[in-house]
Amino acid sequence: MLKYELKRLFSRKEFFIVMVIAFFYISVDFIYHSVMLINSPFFELPSAYQMWLLYNKVRGYWGQLFAYFLIPLFATIPYSDSYLEDKRAGVINYIITRCNKRVYLFGKGIIVFFSGFIVVFATLLFDQLLCFCLLPVYSPSENVFNQPTYNAYQFLSTVQLPKLHSINPYLHNLFYMLLNGVCAGIIALVSYSISFFRKMNRYLVVILAFLFYLLENIIGKLISSSTTFSIADYLIILPFSSEITNYQYFLIFMTMLFFISLIIINFKCSKDEV
């Protein structure tokens, strides 16, 4: 079942289109910021890890746009509506007569999660590889676009997960790639579970998941005080103080969404499809 669903994922035009758009976005962003470095002295160049998309000190607006608006779209469009497509085409009736329904729904759920994860993770990894092509692994100083050295180090000392950053900033970036990928996978899974409700179509499945993510971030921004309740803030490397870098809310919220999705899928397994 997994092999069958994975083959369908990679053959879908939606998956291909989203990957092309994501890579195009990264490329345009990279070229735009690379042009800013033309004729810059070597000691003013940022390191390759600093030029990364979600390193908010350098590429803030582009990274924020990606985290706040593009992640839910990149996560849900490729495959979260595949159940509705099977139902509309009548394929589902043939599948569940030859395969256990639970295996079918949970197998599809695994691939839906993977689709959201791989699109976002591959995009961010591609961006880091582009940075390696242009910039030194470590620059002579940690200056960022002519900012004073003390200002740059102030950012580094207050960054989220500073211990991991000090051990290896590229592992720090890799951690955020995985974090964004998992978040995107869970968003895709939520979108997939929404497709089980009545009177749903492929557009509503994507739009509702996007609006839910957007509203969570807006409300989280409004009620944030000593900690942040905006999910997107955890996906960007921000200069937060130690009081704000508490990932308990993020873990609890993501875990809650994950188990709610599993409960909905499990409930769907007990209902007749034909």
Tens of pLDDT, residue by residue over 31-77, are 998 888 887 777 677 888 888 999 866 676 899 899 999 999 999 99
* pLDDT of res. 88: 85
Query: How does DSSP classify residue 206?
Result: H
| Contact residues for 236 (Cβ-Cβ < 8 A; gap 6+) | 54, 56, 63, 64, 67, 176
Query: How does DSSP classify residue 241?
Result: -
d(CA 69, CA 234): 14
Does residue 80 sit in helix, strand or coil? coil
Instruction: Provide the 10 A C-beta neighbour count for residue 190.
Output: 25
Low-confidence ranges of the chain (pLDDT < 50): 242-243, 274
d(CA 132, CA 129): 5
Do residues 144 and 46 touch, judged by C-beta distance below 8 A?
yes
Does residue 55 sit in helix, strand or coil? strand
Q: What does the radius of gyration of the chain's CA atoms come to, in whole angstroms?
A: 21
* pLDDT of res. 229: 84
CA-based nearest residue to 116, from 228, 50, 18: 18
Per DSSP (E only), the strands in the chain are none
* pLDDT of res. 122: 97
* pLDDT of res. 245: 55
d(CA 65, CA 69): 6
* pLDDT of res. 91: 83
* pLDDT of res. 134: 87
Enter the pTM of the model: 0.89
* pLDDT of res. 8: 92
